[in-house]
Amino acid sequence: MKHFELKGQIRETGNKAVIKAFRKQGLVPCNLYGLGLKNVLFTVEEKELKGITHTPESFIIDIVLNDGNKYTAVVHELQYHPVKDNCLHVDFLAVNEEKPIAINVPLNIFGHAVGVQAGGKFVKFLREVRVSALMKNLPDKLDIDITPMGIGAQIKAGDLKYDNVTVLTQKDAIICAVKATRNSAAAAAEE
């Protein structure tokens, strides 16, 4: 999986006024925890954070702080402003090479379904699935070939099988399907 370097400045615990002052300066308050770490409070520039939040890709985050410490983490939770839609707060979860990591990975759906060629309509329900794997085995994306899908066929999260990767999304969650249309029903009736 790709790594993304994020530079941050250590901050102290503060009240609402302090946090608002950070946000006015274009800084986003962040929190790093996990793996027995004492909570690490820091801020990052909102512009730099958009490299993580405004992309469909998933990343392992390499956090470099101004005190010289470096951490490896994944995004655990993002909080957004309800109206302005800018990021208000980020929680990072520290990870390492030895423990499996649970993370959302985007899907790469490719091919041209047989059912679509017969007049059906392709519908995609999920853009990403949650998986668990060691850091070295985490994929950038999961490939799904839809070429053999006929009319009425669907692919569920339980159908996905990858080496050294466990799919955590509910097994009955539908990823994509080929639905019948009026034209395909009329063509079937004529035959």
Residues 62 and 126 reside in one and the same domain: no
Distance CA 104, CA 168 (A): 9
Domain boundary among 94, 123, 158: 94
Tally of domains in the chain: 2
Q: Which residue has the tokens 């034209």?
A: 183
The closest alpha carbon to 76, from 37, 55, 57, 102, belongs to 102
From the list 110, 175, 108, the residue with the least C-alpha distance to 139 is 108
**Residue 80 and residue 49 share a domain:** yes
Query: What average pLDDT does the segment 128-142 reach?
Result: 94
In a shared domain, residues 119 and 73: no
Helices (H), the chain: 16-24, 46-53, 114-117, 182-190
141/58 Cα distance (integer angstroms): 8
How do residues 63-84 score in pLDDT, each as one tens digit? 999 999 999 999 999 999 999 8
Whether 58 and 106 map to the same domain: the answer is no
Predicted confidence (pLDDT) per residue in 98-121, tens digit = 999 999 999 999 999 999 998 899
Same domain, 77 and 149: no
CATH number of the domain that 159 lies in?
Answer: 2.170.120.20
Mean pLDDT of 133-152: 94
| Percent helix, percent strand, percent coil in the chain, to nearest 5 | 20, 45, 35
Retrieve residue 68's tokens: 């010289």
Q: Is 113 found in the same domain as 62?
A: no
- Same domain? 88 vs 105: no
**Domain of 29?**
3-94
| pLDDT band with cut points at 50, 70 and 90 for residue 42 | very high
- Whether the model clears a pTM of 0.85, i.e. scores above it, the answer is no
Last residue of a domain, one of 68, 94, 120: 94
- The answer to whether residues 17 and 84 belong to one domain is yes
* 43 & 83 share domain: yes
What was the pLDDT predicted at 189?
A: 66
Of 48, 71, 94, the one marking the end of a domain is: 94
Q: Report whether 28 contacts 21 (CB < 8 A).
A: no
For the chain, the average pLDDT equals 92
